[in-house]
Amino acid sequence: MSDAYLAGAGMVEFGVHYDWSIDDLIENAYLELLDGVDKGVEPREDVDAAWFGTVDVAGDAMGGTAVSNATGLYDLPITQVVNACATGSDAVRNAALAVRTGDVDTALVIGAEKMHEDTSGLIASAATERLWRGRGVTMPAFFGLRATRHMADYGTTRDQIAEISVKNHDNGSKYPYAHQRFTCSIDDVKQSPTISHPLSLYDCCPVTDGAAAVLVTSEDVVDRYTDNPVRIGASEVATGSFMRGGENSLTSFEATKNAARSAYERAGIQAGDVDVAEVHDCFSITELVTMEDLGFCEVGQAGEFIESGETRLNGSIPVNPSGGLIAKGHPVGATGVAQAVEMYEQLRDEAGDIQVENPQVGLTHNLGLDRHAAGSVCAVNIYERV
């Protein structure tokens, strides 16, 4: 069984792209990828198949041919993958599985989302349609409740939660692909408009258009593209439920714990082996609970862990060097693929101003909720320096 490798990466600057359709987003990420393959790639000759991650906010895709139309790559098998906010990482996972069969040597993965199109409907309806909306539990409220519960159960402070946003904006201000490139203080975060107590505007990720692409290849052909690839050590998805009595907690996601356990086992590592991580900070509190669910710190200790600076760029385990969803943005289907793009750069020491010191193992994490808010989905991918 061949391992799967990242052999190239590219993405567009995340932001507000009213001037681009989803086709334009796909095309531009694809062109950036072509530039991001060390020894070059002849896409019509080399690419055997593609996976396309989008939840299709714009209602314009309905399948893989969106990629053929935007790239001119016809005749390929191209599969659209949808998995809520974990869509991009799951596209990487399905490509990696195909590469490992030997049927596919070189796969293109593109994640893209045109959020400035029909976002109000999506964001309003996400996670709330049947069970929660009538109770006022929109997405910010859903996560706000987790924040108040973590504060009540473990003594986590508002400042500790705000520190996540401060750190991620610090990082994002240095990352050329990030949407929100400014720095802010804990007071700035706390004084920004309240969205859902205790979360303020700066605790929330913005509405962002974007696209990202990676080349996933087998061991057999990776040398054709680069002498410095990144190994995909694991790519795992798990689903969880909020509907099972007694098993659930407001301060933990079963899906994250299950996906992380599978990923660590598959890659033969432990949480302590991770040198750099991109995690799903759709809200600041989400990053906080994720620290515990991934095993980066003890349960109940994430507030202090974050306050200690361990997750800053120069800490023991830098988290969200790119600025995460809060500063980089969260174009749903692109998010996981953009995390892969950054890991490709980090593990090749090419991440510029956000470079972590000599990382050997990178982890990416995406968490999604379905429209019923009855379940969650999590993807955890492990990337390794070769």
At 175, list the tokens: 């990352």
Q: Which one, of 174, 183, 149, lies nearest residue 285 by Cα?
A: 149
Contact window for a second copy (CB under 8 A) among 5-13, 190-198, 253-261, 342-350: 253-261
At 104, list the tokens: 């596919």
Contact window for a second copy (CB under 8 A) among 26-34, 76-84, 272-280, 348-356: 76-84
Residue 114 C-alpha from the chain's centroid: 16
Can residue 236 be called a binding residue for a second copy (CB under 8 A)?
Answer: yes
Strand partners, 121: none
Q: Is 121 exposed, middle or buried (0-12, 13-18, 19+ CB in 10 A)?
A: exposed
Can residue 358 be called a binding residue for a second copy (CB under 8 A)?
Answer: no
Catalytic residue selected from 150, 179, 280, 330 = 330
Q: Which one, of 302, 300, 328, lies nearest residue 317 by Cα?
A: 302
Strand order in the sheet with 361-369: 49-53, 106-113, 210-218, 4-11, 230-241, 375-385, 361-369, 276-278
For 330, phi and psi rounded to 5 degrees?
A: -140, 70
Least separation in angstroms between residue 259's CB and a second copy is: 8
Q: Is 282 a catalytic residue?
A: no
Can residue 22 be called a binding residue for a second copy (CB under 8 A)?
Answer: no
Can residue 258 be called a binding residue for a second copy (CB under 8 A)?
Answer: yes
- Angle among Cα 81, 30, 74 to the nearest 5 degrees reads 70
Please answer whether residues 109 and 95 qualify as being in contact, where contact means their C-beta atoms are separated by less than 8 angstroms: yes
Please count the residues of the chain. 386
Contact window for a second copy (CB under 8 A) among 26-34, 66-74, 287-295, 304-312: 66-74
User: Binder to a second copy among 25, 66, 289, 356 (CB under 8 A)?
Assistant: 66
Single-letter code of the amino acid located at 303: G
Nearer to a second copy, 129 or 273 (CB): 129
Can residue 86 be called a binding residue for a second copy (CB under 8 A)?
Answer: yes
Can residue 241 be called a binding residue for a second copy (CB under 8 A)?
Answer: yes
Per-residue binding string, a second copy, 101-140, x by CB under 8 A, is xxx----------------------x--x-----------
Least separation in angstroms between residue 10's CB and a second copy is: 21
Residues within the interface to a second copy (CB under 8 A): 1, 55-56, 60-66, 68-69, 74-84, 86-87, 90, 93-94, 97-98, 100-103, 126, 129, 236-241, 243-244, 254-255, 258-259, 262, 266, 368-372, 374-377
| Residues known to be catalytic | 85, 330
